[in-house]
Amino acid sequence: MSIFPSECGHQSHQLHRRQILQTTAGGLLFTTLAERLARAAESTSQRPKSLIVLWLQGGASQLDTFDPHPGSKIAAVAARKTSAKGIMLAEGLEQLADQMHRVVLVRSVMSREGDHERATYNAKTGFRPDPTLQHPAIGAVVCHQLHDQLDIPRHISILPGQWGARGGYLGEQFDAFRIGDPAEPVPDVRKQVSNKRFNSRLVDLREVEKSFRRGRLQQLDADKTLQRLTTQAAVKMMSSKQLSAFDVNSATVAERRQYGDTPFGRGCLAARRLVGAGVRCVEVTLNGWDTHTNNEESQRALVDQLDPAFAGLLRDLEHHQILDDTIVLCMGEFGRTPWYAGLGGRDHWPHGFSVCIAGGGANGGQVIGETSPDPSRDPEVARGQVVQPCSLADIHATVLHRLDIPYEEELQTPIGRPMVISKGTPVPGVF
């Protein structure tokens, strides 16, 4: 008997085969469509909406905080277990240790900048300094890309340091609005005169602006528009009910207590209130980490402030059901040397330090990358000892991608120069 089909059987076989192919193709098309719809649903309903940056100005020692290397010769403080199996933090971070199941700890961040100003620029923008261009801070990018309307600023810096979060080539309208200790009223938002006199002053201000513009040799429509919008925004903010989000004194005693009675703690509480009101990015600064002398005592004092504030923020975001809507990024410009320098201090170390990422759907309770327990004093050799290294640009790309911002997209600078939002690559597994 032949193993080849007859003519009639061949036609039947072809018909059957055609049906299978059509059915399979339809199934593949349906699967592809379903996947696209699922991704679209995730993009619109599950993406976080805001970013809180806990800025550790001066560069925290990774060994005294997030990468203690217990049992090694470089270990400086005792380490303690956390709520995430196998992850240990430095002694003093007891409250944060109980929240580590919510945190992704990236221990392998590296940069090429060891100077404070340059490294701060690198960390806040994701780019190394360029004398021909001012890059925007990540909060400015978020506000530029995610459009919405608020009566209060969408980009806010609490307890800002020397080098603030700027709008860069996106424009000064994306600079962070700066305030001090939230225990104090927001400056310059209360009228000092009657409504009638205040409105009269606004009329006078518009006349002065018109006169000024007529006197300029070059008149730019963009400048006029920005001046008008800035004045309008300021007046709107002064009478907005949204200003109450700044008022941490109206929070309950229990809410305030869990953050710690410090300016930084109150800043973190204000950050939670502000993102709850719709603010896109809040940066809260804890200064003093530049411990070239007396590192042990100084770092411990700062850890005592960081611990309740960071942990309290995560607990409170979860309590108000906005932890998944908010990415929390804790970082500084670099780490510190794994050995002591003169006078018991640690010098700058951009060759392997830690960044914490939580909220926004982060796959908490994991560590990404590691530094050596016996690092070389040669920076280049030490860099080669870091496992799964990533850059600050990669951290930026990770956060921006999670916020559904096209980080690979090119924007036009005011002089028409195309500039990519981020040159980094998202770190796998964070979200």
In this structure, what are the phi and psi dihedrals at residue 250, rounded to the nearest 5 degrees? -85, -5
What is residue 198's predicted lDDT score, i.e. its pLDDT?
Answer: 56
What is residue 355's predicted lDDT score, i.e. its pLDDT?
Answer: 98
CA separation for the pair 95, 287 (Å, rounded) = 20
Measured N-to-C along each axis, helices 392-402 and 116-125 cross at an angle, to the nearest 10 degrees, of: 30
Of the candidates 71, 256, 51, 59, the one whose C-alpha atom is nearest the C-alpha of residue 156 is 51
In this structure, what are the phi and psi dihedrals at residue 29, rounded to the nearest 5 degrees? -65, -45
What is residue 18's predicted lDDT score, i.e. its pLDDT?
Answer: 44
What is residue 395's predicted lDDT score, i.e. its pLDDT?
Answer: 98
pLDDT more than 70, % of the chain: 77
* DSSP state letter for 326: E
**Of the given ranges (6-10, 94-98, 250-254, 325-329), which has the lowest mean pLDDT?**
6-10
Taking only the tens place, the pLDDT of each residue in 82-92 is: 999 999 999 99
| Residue 198: CB atoms within 10 Å | 13
What is residue 285's predicted lDDT score, i.e. its pLDDT?
Answer: 98
Q: Which amino acid is at 167?
A: G
pLDDT more than 90, % of the chain: 74
Asked whether residue 200 carries a pLDDT value surpassing 70, the answer given is no
More confident: 190 or 86: 86
What is residue 187's predicted lDDT score, i.e. its pLDDT?
Answer: 76
Tokens of 17: 């085969």
More confident: 101 or 150: 101
391 SS3 class: strand
Q: How many CA atoms does the CB half-sphere of 358 hold within 13 Å?
A: 24
What is residue 421's predicted lDDT score, i.e. its pLDDT?
Answer: 98
**Of the given ranges (190-204, 342-356, 411-425), which has the lowest mean pLDDT?**
190-204
What is residue 15's predicted lDDT score, i.e. its pLDDT?
Answer: 39
Handedness of CA 341, 343, 349, 355 (dihedral sign): positive
More confident: 190 or 340: 340
Q: What is the pTM of this model?
A: 0.84
Average pLDDT over residues 319-342: 97
Reported as a pLDDT band with limits 50, 70 and 90, residue 235 is: low
Spatial CB neighbours of 175, under 8 Å, sequence gap ≥ 6: 140, 155, 164, 165, 166, 167
CATH of span 48-182+247-420: 3.40.720.10
Spatial CB neighbours of 81, under 8 Å, sequence gap ≥ 6: 87, 88, 97
CA separation for the pair 167, 235 (Å, rounded) = 22
- Is-contact 265 308, C-beta < 8 A? yes
What is residue 44's predicted lDDT score, i.e. its pLDDT?
Answer: 47
Handedness of CA 71, 77, 82, 84 (dihedral sign): negative
- Residue pointed to by tokens 């990358």: 369
Cα 404-166-250 angle, rounded to 5 deg: 80
Asked whether residue 222 carries a pLDDT value surpassing 80, the answer given is no
Tokens of 45: 């309903």
- Is-contact 297 347, C-beta < 8 A? no
Average pLDDT over residues 236-241: 68
Taking only the tens place, the pLDDT of each residue in 130-180 is: 999 999 999 999 999 998 889 899 999 999 999 999 999 999 999 999 999
Spatial CB neighbours of 232, under 8 Å, sequence gap ≥ 6: none
Taking only the tens place, the pLDDT of each residue in 357-370 is: 999 999 999 999 99
What is residue 9's predicted lDDT score, i.e. its pLDDT?
Answer: 40
Domain boundaries, the chain: 1-45, 48-182+247-420, 187-242
Tokens of 257: 């207590």
Reported as a pLDDT band with limits 50, 70 and 90, residue 212 is: low
